[in-house]
Amino acid sequence: MYSPALRAAAALFLFAPLAPASAQEAYEGAVRRDEPKQEPPQPQMTKAPQLLRSVEPAFPPEAAAGQISGDVTLEIEIAADGTVSDAAVVTSAGHGFDEAALAAVRQFTFSPAEVDGKPAPVRIQYTQHFVFEEPKAPAAPPPKPITFKGRILERGTRKPLAGAAVKVAGTELAAVADESGRFELALDPGPFDVEVVDPAHLISYNHESLKAGESLEVTYYLMPKKFGLYETVVRSDREKKEVTRRTLQREELEKVPGSFGDPIRVLQNLPG
């Protein structure tokens, strides 16, 4: 059995509040009681918006006339469905750039942004660059395929006639023969007339025809204006024509020997 004194000590231990084991433990307990309460977590963007449809802004006529470039920074409010609900200019460029950028941005479409995994409205910044460029000249059409080609040679010697010109009558198309006498032209299908010209040769006139999907190759021979080393020119008067007329009487015809009085026989016996 416990004595009364022991029972009283045991009761005091069981029901009395637990005292700190040391001063350090008492200090740490006080610090824990003074800590501030934790704030709830802030919303987090889990998916950024992506531009799905953009509109090219019109270049302001005022800026184009002055050949001016500029950058406009905009603040865009994107609704939960990805449409642009509002837009405002943050950095202005003037010269009509601000208005053009706003008109284009309001027609943009984005994929919806997500905050904590759910679609939500967001606000972003967007910069529109306007760069003036000189108008480009229209691209040249592709060259036509070579459909007419050939050689120009001297008749008799078959010497290549470098520098001889090939002209298509009624057009401005022409070609000049190279050192080997060759030439090339791109022509449309159909008939055409060709003139081959060289200063030391006679002009050659030719009629050709091209069919669709084919090419034509020819060889032209030009007649030289001079033959050999020297040129001989012979000039003469036109031949004179002599005419002799004779008149015979009937009585004379009947007296011609051997005619037996027949005038026809007399005519047959005349010279010539």
- 229 or 156: which leads in pLDDT: 156
Model pLDDT, residue 20: 45
- Partner residues linked to 182 by β-bridges: 151
Model pLDDT, residue 13: 32
Which one-letter amino acid corresponds to residue 74?
A: L
Model pLDDT, residue 3: 33
215 band by pLDDT with thresholds 50, 70 and 90: confident
- Res 181 pLDDT > 60: yes
Poorest-confidence range of 49-53, 75-79, 109-113, 141-145? 141-145
Model pLDDT, residue 12: 30
Residue pair 97/127 in contact by the 8 Å Cβ criterion = no
Q: Whole-angstrom Cα distance, residue 215 to residue 187?
A: 9
Model pLDDT, residue 212: 84
163 band by pLDDT with thresholds 50, 70 and 90: very high
Residue pair 182/149 in contact by the 8 Å Cβ criterion = yes
Model pLDDT, residue 249: 56
Q: What is the mean pLDDT of residues 193-202?
A: 94
- 52 or 255: which leads in pLDDT: 52
Share of the chain above pLDDT 70, in %: 69
Model pLDDT, residue 240: 39
Note if the pTM is more than 0.75. Answer: no
Three state DSSP letters for 54-103: CCCCCCCHHHHHCCCCEEEEEEEEECCCCEEEEEEEEECCCCCHHHHHHH
Provide the mean pLDDT of the chain: 79
Q: Which residue has the tokens 């509040």?
A: 17
190 band by pLDDT with thresholds 50, 70 and 90: very high
Residue 22 is inside which H or E element, if any?
A: none
Q: Which residues contact 96 (CB under 8 A, 6 or more apart)?
A: 60, 61, 62, 63
137 band by pLDDT with thresholds 50, 70 and 90: confident
Model pLDDT, residue 15: 34
Cα 105 to Cα 23, 71, 77, 155, 195, distances in angstroms = 67, 14, 11, 76, 64
pLDDT of 53-75, one tens digit each? 999 999 999 999 999 999 999 99
